[in-house]
Amino acid sequence: MAKRVLVIEDEPNIIEAISFILSRDGWTVHTHSDGETANERITATPPDLIILDVMLPGKSGFDILRDLRESPETTDLPVLMLTARGQTRDREMAERLGVTQFMTKPFSNAEVLESVRALVRD
């Protein structure tokens, strides 16, 4: 069964790009563009990996990540944070909150794919 990746992102073109790249590689891609309801969505149908934006309407990616880590079911869930906010401060914040990997936009498609593959073993 194909591994499921949940892309939480609000820029439609970026969603389109990530979806294209991952689908082509055989991943099942789900998308969610609202920050506020993101955690419910994850808890309802936990994916194998989450690609998480930071600047989301309703709830920031940092808050979503923190809540994920606080909940036992999702505490080990791999999260790839993908953000246009590339400052050191943001990276540190993400790491403190327990991000699995942090990448800045614009990204290279190959790198994203590589990371996704690395983060979801077997």
Partner 1 sequence: MVSFNLLLAVALAYVAFLFVIAFAAERSAEKGSGAWLRSPWIYTLSLSIYCTAWTFYGAVGYAARSGLEYLTIYLGPTVVMIGWWWVLRKLVRIGRSQRITSIADLVSSRFGKSTALGVMVTLMMVVAATPYLALQLQSVTLSFAVFADAAGDSWLSEDLTRSALWVALGLAVFTIIFGTRNLDANERHHGIVMAIAVEAVVKLCALVAVGVFVVWGVAGGFGPMIDLIDTSDIAQWQQSSGRWVGLTFLSGAAFLTLPRMFQVLVVENANEKNLITASWAFPLYLLTMSLFVVPIAVVGLKILPEGSNPDLFVLTIPLSQGLDGLAIFSFLGGFSSATSMVIVATIALATMISNHIVTPLWLSSKGPGAVVSGDIRQLVIGARRLSIAGVLLLGYIYFRLSGGGEALAAIGLISFAGVVQVLPAMIGGIFWRGATRWGAVAGITVGFVIWAWSLFLPSFGPDGILPQTVIDHGPFGIAALRPQALFGITEIDPLIHALMWSMLLNSVAFFFGSVLTFPQPLERLQGAQFVNIFEHSEGARAWTTSTAEAEDLLIMAQRILGSNEAQVLFQQEAQRQGKAGYLPEVTPEFVQNLERELAGSVGAATAHAMVGQFIQGASVSVEDLIAVADEAAQIMEYSNRLEQKSAEQERTARQLRDANEKLTQLSIQKDAFLSQISHELRTPMTSIRSFSEILREGGMSDEELSKYSGIIHDEAMRLTRLLDDLLDLSVLENGQVTLNMGQGNLKTVIDRAVSATAHSPTAITVKRRDGEETIPLYTDLDRLTQVFINLIANAGKYCDAKRPVLRIEPRKVAGEWVVDFIDNGAGITKENQQVIFEKFSRLSDHRKAGGAGLGLAICREIMTRLGGTITYLPGQGGAAFRVVLPPAVNPVLTR
Which residues are at the interface with partner 1 (CB under 8 A)? Answer: 10-14, 16-18, 20-21, 55, 57, 84-87, 104-110
Alpha helices (H) in 1-122, listed in sequence order? 12-24, 38-44, 61-70, 88-96, 109-119
Q: Which is nearer to partner 1, 45 or 88 (CB)?
A: 88
75-92 burial string, b = 16+ CB within 10 Å, else e? eebbbbbbbebeeeebbe
Contact call for residues 7 and 18 (beta carbons, < 8 A): yes
By C-beta, is 75 or 84 nearer to partner 1?
Answer: 84
Min separation Cβ 95 and partner 1, Å:
19
Q: Which is nearer to partner 1, 58 or 70 (CB)?
A: 58
Q: Read off the amino acid at residue 32.
A: H
- Running DSSP on this structure, what letter comes out for residue 79? E
Q: Pick between residue 20 and residue 70 the one whose CB is nearest to partner 1.
A: 20
Q: Any idea which residue has 């790198």 for tokens?
A: 111
Shortest Cβ distance from residue 85 to partner 1 (Å)? Answer: 6
Q: Least Å distance between CB 43 and partner 1?
A: 24
Shortest Å, Cβ 92 to partner 1: 15
